[in-house]
Amino acid sequence: MNQLVKEKLDRLIALFQEVSSKYNWEGSLTNHFTALTYTLNNREFDKEKIKDVRKYINQNTGIFSNYRGTSNIILSALLSSKYESPKHEFDRILDYDKKIRKAGYKNNMYLPIASYALLTSCSGEGMNTLRKIFLMIVNKN
């Protein structure tokens, strides 16, 4: 068990150093997050894949979108480290975004991460259930 923990920590440290050297203008916390994400998903760091996803997010969102800035960095790392087709998965995130806005959620800085959470944990039926619960809460207040 201790050997496994040591190996994971060594990998995390190595990935953090690699990420930091390639993204030295990013904040330390985002570099830690990226390294941790790749370590947890047992993937090799791929700067070009992240760059490609970041560009795709920028091309498919507005200039003042909450999907820009830190959310872009975080989502690019999450999608690139977890999925073979991160652009397709981002399209699904945008679909969830539309659905939860239609259900009455307001646009805010947490919407991109909430949409990602739905991507990883919710089926289409789950989304319908979530919408019903949200509408019940709104109607009671």
Query: Do 90 and 114 sit in the same domain of this protein?
Result: yes
Query: Do 58 and 30 sit in the same domain of this protein?
Result: no
| pLDDT for the residue 116 | 92
Query: Do 40 and 102 sit in the same domain of this protein?
Result: no
Query: Do 34 and 78 sit in the same domain of this protein?
Result: no
Q: Please, which pLDDT band fits residue 127 given cuts at 50, 70 and 90?
A: low
Structure letter (DSSP) for residue 5: H
**C-alpha distances in Å from residue 61, one per residue of 11, 55, 119, 131, 141:** 34, 10, 18, 24, 32
| pLDDT for the residue 6 | 84
For the stretch 56-95, pLDDT in tens is 999 999 999 999 988 998 999 999 999 999 999 999 999 9
Q: Please, which pLDDT band fits residue 123 given cuts at 50, 70 and 90?
A: low
| pLDDT for the residue 1 | 64
Collapsed DSSP state (helix, strand, coil) of residue 103 = coil
| pLDDT for the residue 126 | 67
Residue range(s) defining the domain that contains residue 89: 52-141
| pLDDT for the residue 125 | 66
Read off the pTM: 0.80
CA distance 106 to 16: 35
Query: Do 80 and 61 sit in the same domain of this protein?
Result: yes
For the stretch 6-56, pLDDT in tens is 888 888 888 888 888 887 777 788 888 999 999 999 999 999 999 999 999
Query: Do 7 and 60 sit in the same domain of this protein?
Result: no
Q: Which of the two residues, 139 and 117, has the higher pLDDT score?
A: 117
When divided into structural domains, the chain yields a total of 2
CA distance 103 to 135: 7
Q: Which of the two residues, 124 and 137, has the higher pLDDT score?
A: 137
